[in-house]
Amino acid sequence: MRGERTDRNGPFLASEALRLGLEPARIVIVGDNPDELAAAMAEGVRAEACLVSGGLGPTHDDRTVEMLARALGRGLDVDEELERRIEAVSRAAAERLKRPYADFQAGVTKQATIPDGAIPIGLAGTAPGLLVEHDGGKLVVVLPGPPSELRRLWPNALETDAFRALLARTQPPGRRVLRFFGVSESAVARALADAGGDGGGVEATICARDFEIHVDLVVDPGAEERAETLEAAMLPPIERWLYSRDERPIEEHVLALLRARGLSMATAESETGGLVAARLTSIPGASDAFVGSVVAYSNEVKEAALGVAAELLAEHGAVSAEVAEAMACGARERLGADVAIAVTGIAGPGGGTEEKPVGLVYLHAEGPEGGVARELTFPGDRESIRARSAVTALHLVRRLLTRTRDEAV
């Protein structure tokens, strides 16, 4: 590939590797250039497992199999059984396309030509997936490029004796997940360092995503106790910002909290333009708790669909704490929801003033026992201001739903 397209195969294979106890060392994406391909293949076959996708087609610039044979120092030969199967697929295609089979003959022979000792693991169209064992138990798995075909043939690779033998030598790591919101990445890093840092079979990664801080502890077998101790030591200074010990996204937490309390929810969105609703409804079964939303982009819609008073808009402006509160209350009433979150702000790049700059956002969450409000100024471009507003809105609903009565939020 030339690299400008999103790669879906790398992330799939990396997460499969992690799940199986294989540590992904690197993902390399190269185009059809033979030298680059040869270099990548030569590096790849040094690993315990090298997973290759694409370049299996019938044409001359599909060079994966040839390059693999060269990297392994093996010969190439036509596999006759494989050739018969590819020929059958090609004859059917020729008939369907009303073209002579002779057009396909060269491609069939090319695609049935595999490295000595390679095991076919199924066909994707006319392209065979392959598995090669080499150097005393190392593996190369060759898979088709189209993501759905790759996913279809991948389980066949796992079922080979050679892959089973490799997996018998791995020890899938444990994983501990900590998710924070409202605390800085550096404060979390410091808490981790003060607690002794990673090492000793525990690898920690800290990753900031739209103001959420995601901490993963990858735990080698035998290091569970070290992980337990590290977690216990790092948590006290930052525990009040901990919102999850699993990987569910915040919208799923919010829906679970609503269900647990038998509450329904709506959103009233201006600046986020439906993003909060779209995130909530991305979760299967959201309709249990989420009833709907008014995206009130214009002031007229704020008045007509949410009942925000024209005087309030005139006095405070659409981007104000007062209007956010009125939007939330309007959504509760008009959409018949127990809980509503309202978002109004300035996502930019235009529309900012000195008094109300780009990035200024007002949030208001209102529930049966009152409301909570936030004023924030987000950095970044339109896309990240909107994304951060949506995430912060969802966290504000979580806060509203988890506060104890009379607790300040």
- Contact positions with a second copy (CB under 8 A) in 33-92: 33, 36, 40, 57-61
Report in angstroms how near the CB of residue 133 gets to a second copy at its nearest: 24
Residue 250 binds to a second copy (criterion: CB under 8 A): no
Q: Which of residues 192-211 bind a second copy (CB under 8 A)?
A: 192-193, 197-198, 203-208
Residue 397 binds to a second copy (criterion: CB under 8 A): no
CA 330 vs. chain centroid, Å, equals 34
Specify burial of residue 100 (Cβ count, 10 A radius: 0-12, 13-18, 19+).
exposed
| Residue of 6, 80, 81, 355 interacting with a second copy (CB under 8 A) | 6
How distant, in Å, are the alpha carbons of 28, 254, 337, 366, 374 from that of 395? 37, 8, 18, 13, 11
Strand order in the sheet with 119-124: 49-53, 138-143, 127-134, 119-124
CA–CA separation, 50 and 68 (whole Å): 11
Residue 190 binds to a second copy (criterion: CB under 8 A): yes
Residue 107 binds to a second copy (criterion: CB under 8 A): yes
CA nearest neighbour of 341 among 406, 289, 284:
289
Query: Are the beta carbons of 384 and 378 closer than 8 angstroms?
Result: yes
| Residue of 49, 114, 258, 275 interacting with a second copy (CB under 8 A) | 275
Widest CA span in the chain: 82
Report in angstroms how near the CB of residue 334 gets to a second copy at its nearest: 6
For a second copy, the closer of residues 129 and 133 by Cβ is 129
Find all residues with CB under 8 Å of 79, minimum gap 6, and list them: 112, 113, 114, 118, 120
Residue 267 binds to a second copy (criterion: CB under 8 A): yes
CA 347 vs. chain centroid, Å, equals 24
Phi first, then psi, for residue 3 (nearest 5°) are: 95, -10
Report in angstroms how near the CB of residue 320 gets to a second copy at its nearest: 17
| Residue of 244, 272, 344, 392 interacting with a second copy (CB under 8 A) | 272
Q: Which of residues 217-236 bind a second copy (CB under 8 A)?
A: none
| Residue of 68, 183, 250, 401 interacting with a second copy (CB under 8 A) | 183
Question: What sections of 175-284 are H helices per DSSP?
Answer: 185-194, 224-234, 250-261, 275-280
Find all residues with CB under 8 Å of 304, minimum gap 6, and list them: none
Q: Give the binding-site size for a second copy (rule: CB under 8 A).
A: 106
| Residue of 34, 174, 196, 274 interacting with a second copy (CB under 8 A) | 274
Query: Are the beta carbons of 348 and 385 closer than 8 angstroms?
Result: yes
| Residue of 350, 354, 355, 408 interacting with a second copy (CB under 8 A) | 350
- The stretch among 133-141, 187-195, 362-370, 391-399 that binds a second copy (CB under 8 A) is 187-195
The site string for a second copy over 117-156 (x = CB under 8 A, - otherwise) reads --------x--------------------x-xx-xx----
For a second copy, the closer of residues 133 and 253 by Cβ is 253
Residue 246 binds to a second copy (criterion: CB under 8 A): no
Residue 344 binds to a second copy (criterion: CB under 8 A): no
Tokens linked to 198: 């990673």
Query: Are the beta carbons of 396 and 388 closer than 8 angstroms?
Result: no
- The stretch among 72-80, 134-142, 156-164, 290-298 that binds a second copy (CB under 8 A) is 290-298
Tokens linked to 282: 């991305």
Residue 362 binds to a second copy (criterion: CB under 8 A): no
Report in angstroms how near the CB of residue 19 gets to a second copy at its nearest: 9
